[in-house]
Structure 1
Amino acid sequence: MSKSERAYFILDVFTHEVLAGNPLAVVLDSDGLSDGEMQKIAREFNLSETVFVSPPKNPAHNAALRIFTPSCELPFAGHPTVGAAVLLGSQRFPDLERDMDSVMMLEEKIGLVRARVKLYANGAGGGAGDAVFDVPSLSKPFDIQLGSKDEIAAALGLHIKDIGFENHVPTVFAAGVPFVMVPIRDMEAIGRASPVLPSWNTAFGSHDHNDAYLYTRETVRHGSSFHTRMFAPTMGIVEDPATGSAAAAFAGCICRFDQPGKGTHSFVIEQGFEMGRASIINLEFEVADGRLSAERIGGKAVIVASGVLYI
């Protein structure tokens, strides 16, 4: 392969089925691409995120990743980490005769990310594999001035009575990237939500990451803990089918309002159902001394397509 040819893959992430979950582009052999070229390629794919893989700075690690939306670079994101980890594992062990567990050390802008990958022999298990990664930056409150509940409802095309349930109120948390956490009273209300751009900045702030993560306890699937939606219209993503970085930030929100006790807590988060892209994200975190001490995000990924970029 010449230097002008770069292999790429398309995966569906947080699903074991093709044409579900969150699609992801992963470009291998990204050495030599400028920041501007990476941004243009991400815009060309026009998916919520595109990952560019290059050799790691530390030879003991597996790869360096850079993550771009159609409009900007991110320091960290969940479904690119899961998808890239599964793909790199499948590239490393292409002809498995039995299922295999491996560990990937991935260099991202936020820092080193450790991912545990399970690869399936001959495509067994319904996909290329599963990955679980340790969240590199624990969720914490983020200082963004929000609009009133009325203004938040208006920006989502909802009524003020749709915002909030139990003791949950809108807050902002970040695990690398900030998200406005918006509790929605039920499934009917969250299904009606839609971004209203003229009202967006008033409700969620005028900055690069004024993304809204809506959640409710009512779910489609019996085994799910929360039903969610994520809108990021100012980043060129009207709605995202699955957002691992938002799920990581959501851990802080759960801790604040639900106050889980000491120990390990697991949650299944469903997203993308309104888009016809059903996604399942596994969130696990540990609590010690009343605060988060560790977080993990996991899910499945399946390879959908591959090709070559002539750039």
Structure 2
Amino acid sequence: MDSVAYITVDVFTGERFSGNQLAVIPDARGLSDTQMQQIAAEFRYSEVTFVLPPEDPANTARVRIFTPTMEIPFAGHPNVGTAFVLGGQPEIFGNAPGDVLRFEEKAGLVATALIRDDDGRVAGAGILAPQPLSLGPQIDTDTIAHCASIDVRAICTETHAPIIASVGLPFAVAEVTDLETLGRACPNTAAFAGAGRRFSPEDEQFAIFLYTRLPDNPWHVRARMFAPLDNVIEDPATGSASGALGALLASLQPASDLDIDITIEQGVEMGRRSLIELNVHKSDGLVHSVRIAGRCVAVMRGNLSL
């Protein structure tokens, strides 16, 4: 194998050069783990996906997700963007894609549903988080403040303390008081390294998802995500973190049965505005499903020399 085909898309946006960049290798057969990691490092996007035949023929594909430094079990925008790319192809490993695609991933089976425009063309996708909400340790406000270079008094704890939350990939989730504080945040890599040693398992990197809720609509959220230990200084759209936040907020609502729509707006400070649409379903006091959806735009296609 001398080269491999790739397609890049902007995810969680309807406008090219906004949203979150993703490179998709639609046929990664023949690539070694080392080559996959090298390709991800070469693109330097927050993630690159590698599509392989499924182990179970009832599923659509096996999808591996790499950041510039490591493979991860699940992420939101790579699934949405990969579904968008594969949904526009005539076939996937000999089978025509339908409107529902099922991806085998390290975190489990990820179900995706294509979003089509008025002309029937694939315009995006929605996914269901592969795991229920799980919570790790709470994190002291001083640690969050040092990592994000913000005043500790600007961290809100009325709804929840800063905490590790996951629906497939863990993030430290913390609420701040206002948009001004969110805009001033800047990752402190040395503080992140110290926090990572204290709060992250050995095979995962410590990342922070900061957010604030708009005063006139508490279900419209502005957010930023920092993961400098993974060579992602800031991510313009983080579906896995958004899903974890949505599940966390729904779990804290007093109602035992709830079906809520949440909009996460991210990437504004980077000039890559993204819109992530969540639907969270809660019944009998437990969050049972988190849908993460958004639109996509194709940007580039070509061949990568090996």
Same-fold call, TM cutoff 0.5: yes
Select which of 191, 206, 209 maps to 2:205.
209
Say whether residues 1:138 and 2:136 are aligned partners. no
| Partner Cα separation in structure 2 for residue 263 and residue 150 of structure 1 | 33
1:222 positional shift:
7.4
| Residue in 2 that maps onto 1:41 | 39
Checking the alignment, whether the CA contact within 8 Å between 2:251 and 2:282 is kept in structure 1 is: no
Q: Which residue number in structure 2 is paired with residue 197 of structure 1?
A: 189
Consecutive unaligned residues in structure 1, runs of 5 or more: 94-99
Task: Give, in whole Å, the separation in 2 of the partners of 1:275 and 1:123.
Answer: 32
Alignment of 1:1-311 (within 5 A): 3-92=1-90, 102-120=99-117, 128-143=122-137, 146=139, 148-164=140-156, 166-203=158-195, 205-206=197-198, 207=200, 208-218=204-214, 225-311=220-306
C-alpha distance in 2 between matches for 1:215 and 1:241: 13
Please give the alpha-carbon distance, in whole angstroms, between the structure 2 residues aligned to 1:204 and 1:149: 15
Conserved in 1, the CA contact under 8 Å of 2:209 and 2:224?
yes
Report the 3-state secondary structure (helix = DSSP H, G, I; strand = E; otherwise coil) of the residue aligned with 1:306: strand
Instruction: Tell me if structure 1 keeps the 8 A contact 2:250–2:280.
Output: no
Compute the displacement of 1:205 (Å): 4.3
Give the letter aligned to residue 112 of structure 1.
Answer: L
How many Å separate the matches in 2 of 1:26 and 1:71? 17
Once the 2 structures are TM-superposed, how far is the Cα of residue 204 of structure 1 from its aligned partner?
Answer: 5.2
Aligned-residue CA RMSD in angstroms?
2.3
Give how far 1:253 is off: 2.1
How many angstroms does 1:60 deviate by? 2.3
The corresponding residue for 1:97 is none
Structure 2 distance, partners of 1:56, 1:238, is 33
Give the direction of change, closer, same or farther, for the CA distance of 1:121–1:286 in structure 2 (3 Å limit): closer
> How many residues of Structure 1 are paired with residues of Structure 2 in the alignment?
298
Give a deviation string over 1:165-217, Cα, whole Å, max 9, x none: 54332111111111001110000101000011222234454443210000101
SS in 2 for 1:142: strand
TM-score by length of 1: 0.89
- 1:40 & 1:69 partners in 2: Cα distance? 10
CA contact (8 A) 1:89 1:119 kept: no
- The corresponding residue for 2:94 is none
Contact 1:181-1:253 within 8 A present in 2 as well: no
Conservation of the 8 A alpha-carbon contact between 2:129 and 2:168: no
Structure 2 Cα separation of the partners of residues 205 and 258 of structure 1: 32
Percent of aligned positions that are identical: 39
Question: Which segment drifts farther, 109-118 or 247-256?
Answer: 247-256
Q: Where do 5+ consecutive residues of structure 2 fail to align?
A: 92-96
CA distance in 1, matches of 2:2, 2:150: 49
CA deviation vs aligned residue, 1:86-116 (integer Å, no higher than 9, x gap)? 11000137xxxxxx97111111111211111
Residue identity in the other structure for 1:172? I
What residue in structure 2 maps to residue 96 of structure 1?
none
SS at match of 1:43: helix
Q: TM-score normalised to the size of structure 2?
A: 0.90
CA contact (8 A) 2:247 2:290 kept: no
